[in-house]
Structure 1
Amino acid sequence: MGGNYEFEQKSLIACISRNHPELAKERFQFAEESWSNAVVIVGNRYIFRFPKTDSAKKSLKIEKQVLPKLSERLSLAIPSIKYVSGLNEGLAYAYYPLIKGSKLSKKFYQSLPREQKKGVQKDLGRFLSDLHAYPVKEINNADFTDVDVKENWEHFYKEIKRAISPYSNKALDRSIKQLFDRFLSNPANFKFKPCLLHADLKPSHLLYDVENERLSGVIDFGAMEVGDPAFEFVGLYDAYGKEFIMKVMDHYTGIIDPTFWQRINDFYMKIVHFYDVIYGVETGDAAMIKYHLSVIQKVLQNSS
């Protein structure tokens, strides 16, 4: 699972002030931390991200390589990383200019007038079309691009079994095995063309420009990967519902293969809580583990 690092706020301020003295007198704000990064907003102008895990450190290097070229092909703003620290500078971090906008929570989205909702759907559909059309061959990182999607899910299943073994029971183990066996044994589930994914689209990563009445940007590409285009829609489905996804799809030009929706409904939507369990194991949060395992058990029981 890799290392997990916690930071004191004063150590992050000291790191920024030391390496960027021109920003030392700016206002420092600490944003709500993600699973993988501690985030500092400096002078309401820059975002500094400090990776909390080894995998997050690796992803920063990939983002630095991919995002500049990717931004040229996208209709929405994405982080324009200016700098990724070296190994000799203490804490690892990256920084980039702040993208203005409000997080598109479900409540905020539902409050928008009909025409603005249509604009969000169109903006997001176009963004995903362009993202998924990005030529993966331009990414010069074998660990990132030479992927076997089925093999990755087999590895994920092993990781899940290892993570939940102290907390699970025979009935749950049996249901999880059946879920993965059905998915992995169907060759049709792996006949899609892998593409570049944001892989963590959710309300907190979508920014809305109230003044211009449109999406202004998409942030946090830390989970970016090459994989199944259907997987991209799971976080959006979970947050906003099926009707929203269907309207976004009206503006999506990617390939919808024969098992696209089956993969979403029968597998991806049923494993979303597994990520919460893994995070709970990594952070030693027993209450989080117990809660999400209970949700998983109910989901699998209802679908059996």
Structure 2
Amino acid sequence: MPMVDPDMSLDQLAPIIVATFPELAGSSFSLLSEGWDSVAVDVDDRLIFKFPRNADAERALAMEARLLAAIRPVIATPVPDLEVFETPRRFSRHCKLKGEHLLTADYERLPDDDRQHLARAMAQFFAQLHRLERQVMADAGAKALEGWPHPDYVAERALPQLSGVDRALAERTLVAWQELPPDPLGEVYGFFDGHGWNMAFDHQRRRLNGIYDFADSGFGPLQQEFVYPSLVSHDLTARIIGEYEAMTGKALNRERINLLTGVLHLVEIAWALENPDMLATLLGFYRHWADRQPV
């Protein structure tokens, strides 16, 4: 996680919220997260206020609000109703989607029926997003995904972190990535961040209550959408793919998705070298993927 910025401490942010919403003066405030792009403040376990860290994040927040305004009326999955305020600094407010992150250990405790229910909900979410008209989303501010870095950059930074069969597999993966043709299913507007840290999951009812954080959404290759749920579980990814195919009639290429999953792990390792705590976690994700690959 990034270093704590004194200007983004709770002592600094709570007065800004109260100045705009004086009725919250007696509320309970807590820092929900200290992300790379913004800091979120939870008020009374009811409202979420997001404060961008810099000008780029401010622009991204405004774009996210426009995107959600276009998305919300046409998909079944609850998403934040983001309202942006400009004084004394830009921030957003939305009602909190009740639920917690869904991590691998949580998923592994779910009964089979609940796993399938979650996969169906995620597949529906993806399918409905992918049907949105490109021009409508472009008018709302959607842009092309920020591409993954060049394979040479990934190799230079990620490969030295690996050894033995893990490194050999990574080398083959990067070569296969360079040879991968464009996605035959084309490009869509998608979420491209569908892992458990962006889910509001009700662990008591074992149901998905909503999805949030659309800052990384945009136009990208359709099948790349299915890479990110593997950060929760490869079983979840497989179930989502099956449900999506049944809903849309599209045949997804599991080998392609699996390859891109490995590439994602290597890209994130390359990006995380300056963050040792995160690097250890990402190496674990890669090795879990690698253990599933044929010898």
Q: TM-score, normalised by structure 1?
A: 0.76
**Contact persistence 1:116–1:213 (CA under 8 A):** yes
The alpha carbon displacement at 1:276 in A equals 4.8
Of the candidates 217, 229, 246, which is equivalent to residue 236 of structure 1? 229
Of the candidates 144, 147, 150, which is equivalent to residue 152 of structure 1? 147
Identity %: 18
Matched, 1:248 2:247: no
Match of 1:268 in 2: 261
**Contact persistence 1:270–1:300 (CA under 8 A):** no
Of the candidates 106, 112, 115, which is equivalent to residue 113 of structure 2? 115
Matched, 1:183 2:177: yes
Mapped partners of 1:129, 1:26: distance in 2: 39
Match of 1:285 in 2: 275
In 2 relative to 1, CA 185–66 (structure 1 residues): closer, same or farther, beyond 3 Å? same
Mapped partners of 2:277, 2:105: distance in 1: 27
Mapped partners of 1:93, 1:129: distance in 2: 30
The alpha carbon displacement at 1:70 in A equals 0.6
The alpha carbon displacement at 1:217 in A equals 0.6
**Contact persistence 1:63–1:221 (CA under 8 A):** yes
**Contact persistence 1:208–1:215 (CA under 8 A):** yes
The alpha carbon displacement at 1:185 in A equals 3.3
Match of 1:202 in 2: 195
Deviations 1:35-77 (A, max 9, x none): 3321111122211112335543332122111112211111110
Mapped partners of 2:168, 2:61: distance in 1: 37
**Contact persistence 2:231–2:285 (CA under 8 A):** no
The residue type paired with residue 117 of structure 2 is G
Aligned residues: 288
In 2 relative to 1, CA 255–196 (structure 1 residues): closer, same or farther, beyond 3 Å? farther
The alpha carbon displacement at 1:297 in A equals 9.4
Q: Secondary structure at the match of 2:243?
A: coil
Matched, 1:47 2:48: yes
Of the candidates 119, 123, 126, which is equivalent to residue 125 of structure 1? 123
Structure 1 gaps, min length 5: none
The alpha carbon displacement at 1:227 in A equals 0.6
Mapped partners of 1:4, 1:58: distance in 2: 22
Deviations 1:155-187 (A, max 9, x none): 55476478x39x779x99998776445323333
**Contact persistence 1:231–1:264 (CA under 8 A):** yes
Match of 1:94 in 2: 92
In 2 relative to 1, CA 9–298 (structure 1 residues): closer, same or farther, beyond 3 Å? same
The alpha carbon displacement at 1:254 in A equals 4.2
The alpha carbon displacement at 1:18 in A equals 2.3
The residue type paired with residue 265 of structure 1 is N
Query: Matches of residues 3-42 of structure 1 in structure 2 within 5 Å?
Result: 6=5, 7-42=8-43
The alpha carbon displacement at 1:9 in A equals 2.2
User: Cα RMSD between the aligned structures?
Assistant: 3.9
Structure 2 gaps, min length 5: none
The residue type paired with residue 73 of structure 1 is V
Of the candidates 206, 209, 215, which is equivalent to residue 208 of structure 2? 215
Mapped partners of 2:214, 2:237: distance in 1: 20
**Contact persistence 1:197–1:225 (CA under 8 A):** yes
Mapped partners of 2:20, 2:99: distance in 1: 28
Mapped partners of 1:68, 1:294: distance in 2: 37
The residue type paired with residue 176 of structure 2 is R
